[in-house]
Amino acid sequence: MTRILLYIFIISLGFILSKYKIIPLYLKSKTAILQCFSLFFLLGIMGYKIGSDNNIISEFPRIGIQAFTISLCSILGSIFITKLFFMKKRGDKS
């Protein structure tokens, strides 16, 4: 529970900093670099945790098929919903 509260606090702090323009403009341009580095760091840590867990490695073929199926359905569903949204949006303007 405390982790969730910490996440909410951090997100709220970022929102407040952005809303009241507390962060200088030159620092805002560097946030993309920080986000990219943080994402790569997180992916590396996740890969390490997955690679060091023997249970996950032994179940990898089964998990892989499930992950592929879920990913494929998510991608196709996103494409379908996006197409519907933009078709309806274009239809309203005509």
What is the value of pTM for the model shown? 0.50
For 14-53, what is each residue's pLDDT tens digit?
A: 889 888 888 777 777 788 888 899 999 999 999 899 889 8
If you ran DSSP here, which 8-state letter would residue 20 be given? T
Phi-psi label, residue 58: left if phi above 0, alpha if psi -120 to 50, beta otherwise: alpha
Instruction: Give residue limits of the domains in the chain.
Output: 1-41
Q: In this predicted structure, what is the pLDDT of residue 90? A: 67
